[in-house]
Amino acid sequence: MEKITSLENQVEQVAKLVFESKYLVVFTGAGISTESGLADFRGKDGLWTRRDKGLPPPKSKHFDEVEPNAGHRAIVDLQEMGLLKFLLSQNVDNLHLKSGIKPELIAELHGNYMLMKCIDCDTRYTKEKIGWDRDVHGRGFRTEQHEPNQPLCPECQGRIITSVVNFNDPMPEKEMTISKEHTLKCDLMIVVGSSLAVQPAAGFPLKAKRNGAKLVIINIDSTPLDNKADIKLDVEAGEFLTEIVATVKKMF
């Protein structure tokens, strides 16, 4: 793992990797959304970290109250420059799609709180389109009992559930398959705001590294893959990614 001291050198080194990459894949976790006002999960003051210590949950805005931040927008800039080939995300907050990431360029590995899906044909629907009212129909988790009044899939009349992957739920097959495909194609993977503690999603960066890709990790806290990374940066994502994009633009 390369140790880089000054912020300017950090930006320059990562920007050079981005500019020279042929197949850039970005992997994001809850840490990229903390600058929007959402709590993370496995950080020092994260939701699960505090729960495990018997502490109350950290302060956090609701998903409906937040907007994409500079980190999200910088990833969109990489998309618009044609450098981002694919985005893997553990987040369910909808901020990547809200920021302008093209739906065909993202795999939301743990689902999206805005979307419901058919358990049979896997068609996705917004809650509005399917007429899902949480106060009436419940959360729609797979493990909850199906209620007769819940909307059915217009395509196949299958059961509708939330796309969010709850504890003990199977991972979404389509997203896992396409994530593996892009992981094996990439020559550079940048991890942003993930503790890399939640499997199996967190296995993709290691798979990329073992397949010969460069690995950059941007996360305030340590991760299990820090010693595998080519570059590990203990910085906030928003400002740093913005600087990377600005530096890459100068390289064209």
Task: Give tens-digit pLDDT for 75-116.
Answer: 999 999 999 999 999 999 999 999 999 999 999 999 999 999
Here the tokens at position 179 are: 């994530």
Residues 46 and 148 in one domain: no
CB distance 205 to 219 below 8 Å: no
Q: What are the catalytic residues?
A: 110
Containing domain of residue 143, as a range? 114-163
Q: What is the pLDDT of residue 148?
A: 83
Residues 103 and 127 in one domain: no
In the chain, which stretches have pLDDT less than 50?
46-50
What is the C-alpha separation between 134 and 132, in angstroms, rounded?
Answer: 6
Do 184 and 79 have their domain in common? yes
Confidence (pLDDT) at 43:
55
Given 163, 195, 225, the domain boundary residue is 163
Residue with tokens 């991972």: 171
Residue 1 lies in a domain: no
| 2 part of a folded domain | no
